[in-house]
Chains A and B, each alone.
Chain A
Amino acid sequence: MNTKNRTVITANQHVLIRLPSEGTKIVELRPSGVVSLGKFGSFLVDGVLGYPFGQSFEIVEGQDVKPILSLQHSSDPKDVSEEPEGDLNKEELTKMFSENNQNIIDIGSKIQKLTNDDIEELKKSGATSSIGQHIIDQMIAGHEGFDKKTLFSQQKYLRRKQQKFLRRFTVEYLGSSQMLQYYIDKDLPRVIDLSEESLGLLMTYGNVRPGGNYLLIDETGGVVLYAMLERMGGEGQVVLVHENEHVNIIALRHAGYSEEYINRMVKTIDYLQFLEPENEKINWEDKSEEELAEMKSSKREQYEKRRERATAINSVIETVQNGNFDALISVSTLHQPTLLPRILDTVGGSRPIVIYNQYKELLLETQHVLTKDKRVLAPSIFETRVRPYQTIPGRMHPLMTMRGGGGYILWGTKVIPQEGITAVGRGISKRKREESPATDATDS
């Protein structure tokens, strides 16, 4: 069974650490262990255990931590009413900004009296929580123009410095969004440019839910599989098709699922077994009790292993032959037009077909093939993009930059065409035909 905790920070689990710099890290929380955050310092694991996921902390004396409201706040979390640090009255700010705009000056490094060496020196001088704040204070003191800046830009300046020097972090549950975020930061090609919004759309169009029986092609190292398992909550099954001898689900190593759990939820099959099941089934006959009794223990062990493998392969082949999958979800670089026509019939009637690709052009080709094929109803290509805003009252605007890309999704519904049906309008007068979307339904 899957015993990982989804709500409370628990020992022996992998978690996501979010840093003020917006960097992310995946770490395992070993009891009595120490986690190093590089220039942000290090902390004792035991200090964070028992808090709910999502809690932010600040490193205080040594490697101890204290809980804080968020990465932007340093106030005692119990005192919610306290203003975020350096966060001046918003209305005042807005007013000041328009009046005082002319005083804004360029914060060139030359007007900061603190040199990099000074900062390093300060950092070395002790590991207290006040270090970060101290550095910032010094910087302000050395920044001759600081008081001439508007309150608003002062605040912005502080925030930027906080990101660089404050020793704060948040411990988040390692969900599929966090896992994906981690790979986006570290190794974008690994997840084929998939964005969080595209992942969400894949899961929703795929109608992934508890108890489903899904066919999956996942070349993201298991990030998509992880998202599916999350939505299935331990009920149902995923048949995962892979192109190498062994399946790559490296992302699941951080997932905190036991081997049994994964074996129960995920069945793997390679393309050879999938497409040529009859050749690939393993002829297996159990040996008799007497034969087994005569076997040496090492031989016996071997026999049991072979038996297990044969049963697993034959069983997954049988699952595929029975078909009737509740969705096909494909996140793959394989040429879909050659693949899909050969596997569509394993998907049940009225179930979703959801194909992700980094490139719209490849889905375009796929859509033309499916349209001709007639087994997928109304396939369309979807693009979804999330645009983040600077979220400060009075100064809301879209952020100046955001990640490009994020991929495309083709969604259609598996249907069962009937031979010899004519659409309204075929062979009827031209004008009528132009009006009739019924012909469109076959064509699209």
Chain B
Amino acid sequence: MSFYAYKDIIEAGDLVLAFISRGATKPITVTPGEVLNTRYGQFEHDLMIGMKYGSQMAGKKGYGFIHLLHPTPELWTLSLPHRTQIVYTPDSSYIVQRLGVGPGSRIIEAGTGSASFTHSFARSVGDKGKVFTYEFHEVRYNEAKRELEEHGLMKNTVITHRNVCDDGFEIDNHKVDGDVVFLDLPSPWTAIPHLNKVIAEDRQVGICCFSPCIEQVEKTVKALEDDGWTSIEMVEVAGKRWEARKDMVKHVDDVVKRLKDIQDRKSQGIEKLRNVNSTAPSEVSSTESTPEPPSKKQKRDRGFNPFGKGTRIKEGDDQYEWRDVTKVESEIKSHTSYLTFAYKNPNRKV
């Protein structure tokens, strides 16, 4: 298992993301003898070993299932233990694209937080690149460090316990030589002046500062200008997720037809009632004429019922006519943060 490349078969010791349902993915380390317990069944690790990544796996009792997924930074982002706010894929993917992050890029990231973006950076820069990430909160630093080690990301990632706003970014034994900077901390403007010592001198450097408040952006823009960064632009990314659904097509003609049917049945009923009343009084009719509360068990004859009123219908049921529609997720992230981009050039021949 690695975040740098796929493998096909699950082995003991692998990190597997158990997809239980949308919004519920559980990271597990496959360990002989252990069992994953979920609301939908029990899943033995021993049985996972040797299965293909991507397999659907049945619960121990024969019902319920999960899918066994290979970790990627994107799936990890959806399942990781949150220690802080994290950067989600619509933001991170745009930052990576706009700043041209790729194999060989040298990233400076502070703070590490839950290391969500760190995973994505490490994957993208490959073995020719480097990620320098900084975190001043000791517990978070230790957890992120352990996680990065367990995930095999130390090959191209260096994590440092440091307050970058006070003590800057320099690291013993490393020339940082960064060409992409990402600052996700409360006061980027205090970190910016420290960057001059660690950014590349022979090529353009790009920066993105990630701040939720406009006041932070103001201060950041000033600090960037003062330090010679140019092409400063702030943007906001809005991401939305849509579900494919089906909506029943209800023709007005059918409504009219149904109303007529009800009318007919009513008058028929009255006829019937009259007939009953005139021929045989009391006993039998009493049960028929008193309106009965609709019971779930009893299947009533509803006459012409084109939209299945009063019954439970599965979306897309073949008996009805449907139209494909989209529905936006019930809660959208309408604001994550402002992204302030800028560049710094050496302004000389190199």
User: Which chain A residue has the least Cβ–Cβ distance from B332?
Assistant: A383
* B54:A200 contact, CB within 8 angstroms: no
Q: What sequence of 0s and 1s flags, for each residue 142-162 of chain A, a beta carbon within 8 Å of any chain B beta carbon?
A: 000000000000000000000
* Cβ contact of B104, chosen from A52, A233, A367, A380, cutoff 8 A: A233
Given contacts A51-B349, A368-B324, contact A424 B52 (CB under 8 A): no
Q: Which residues of A contact B349 (CB under 8 A)?
A: 50-51
* B8:A324 contact, CB within 8 angstroms: yes
Instruction: Report the bound CA distance from A382 to B235 in whole Å.
Output: 19
* A396:B348 contact, CB within 8 angstroms: no
* B242:A381 contact, CB within 8 angstroms: yes
Q: What sequence of 0s and 1s flags, for each residue 315-350 of chain B, a beta carbon within 8 Å of any chain A beta carbon?
A: 000000000111000000000001010010111111
Q: Does B312 contact A (CB under 8 A)?
A: yes
* Interface footprint category on B: 35 or more
Stretch at the interface among B66-74, B144-152, B164-172: B66-74
Q: Which residues of A contact B202 (CB under 8 A)?
A: 7-8, 52
* B237:A384 contact, CB within 8 angstroms: yes
Whole-angstrom distance from the CB of B36 to the nearest CB of chain A?
14
User: Which chain A residue has the least Cβ–Cβ distance from B70?
Assistant: A350
Q: What sequence of 0s and 1s flags, for each residue 408-441 of chain A, a beta carbon within 8 Å of any chain B beta carbon?
A: 1000011111100111101000100000111011
* A382:B347 contact, CB within 8 angstroms: no
Q: Does A351 contact B (CB under 8 A)?
A: yes
- Residues facing A in B198-248 (CB within 8 A) are 202-204, 214, 217-218, 221-222, 227-228, 230-244, 246
Residues of chain A at interface, number, CB under 8 A? 96
* B98:A377 contact, CB within 8 angstroms: no
* A209:B124 contact, CB within 8 angstroms: yes
- Most A-side CB within 10 Å, residue of B127, B325, B349: B349
User: Which chain B residue has the least Cβ–Cβ distance from A327?
Assistant: B6
Q: Does A365 contact B (CB under 8 A)?
A: yes
Q: Which residues of B contact A438 (CB under 8 A)?
A: 20-21, 39-40, 64-65
Instruction: Report the bound CA distance from A413 to B312 in whole Å.
Output: 31
* Cβ contact of A380, chosen from B242, B312, B345, cutoff 8 A: B242
Q: Does B304 contact A (CB under 8 A)?
A: no
Whole-angstrom distance from the CB of B59 to the nearest CB of chain A?
8
Instruction: Report the bound CA distance from A71 to B152 in whole Å.
Output: 43
Q: Does A232 contact B (CB under 8 A)?
A: yes
* Cβ contact of B41, chosen from A349, A382, A424, cutoff 8 A: A424
User: Which chain A residue has the least Cβ–Cβ distance from B322?
Assistant: A368
- Most B-side CB within 10 Å, residue of A67, A361, A441, A442: A441
Instruction: Report the bound CA distance from A398 to B214 in whole Å.
Output: 12
User: Which chain A residue has the least Cβ–Cβ distance from B179?
Assistant: A7
Q: Does B58 contact A (CB under 8 A)?
A: yes
Q: Which residues of A contact B324 (CB under 8 A)?
A: 361, 364-365, 368
Instruction: Report the bound CA distance from A345 to B70 in whole Å.
Output: 17
Given contacts A78-B347, A391-B232, contact A364 B217 (CB under 8 A): no
Q: Which residues of A contact B89 (CB under 8 A)?
A: 201, 204-205
Q: Does B96 contact A (CB under 8 A)?
A: yes
* A211:B235 contact, CB within 8 angstroms: no
Instruction: Report the bound CA distance from A383 to B334 in whole Å.
Output: 12
Add 18 more A-B contacts to A7-B204, A56-B345, A393-B218 (CB < 8 A). A6-B104, A69-B345, A70-B231, A203-B96, A209-B124, A211-B4, A230-B102, A349-B8, A364-B242, A368-B324, A381-B242, A387-B235, A393-B222, A408-B242, A421-B63, A422-B62, A438-B40, A441-B21
Residues of B within 8 A of A (CB): 4-6, 8, 19-24, 39-41, 52-59, 62-65, 67-70, 72-75, 89-90, 92-94, 96-98, 100, 102-104, 120, 123-124, 126-128, 202-204, 214, 217-218, 221-222, 227-228, 230-244, 246, 312, 324-326, 338, 340, 343, 345-350
| Residue contacts A-B, CB under 8 angstroms, 14 given | A7-B202, A200-B94, A201-B93, A207-B123, A209-B126, A212-B5, A360-B326, A380-B241, A382-B242, A388-B235, A416-B52, A422-B63, A424-B63, A437-B22
Instruction: Give the 3 A-B residue pairs with the shortest CB-CB distance, closest first.
Output: A349-B54, A233-B103, A200-B97
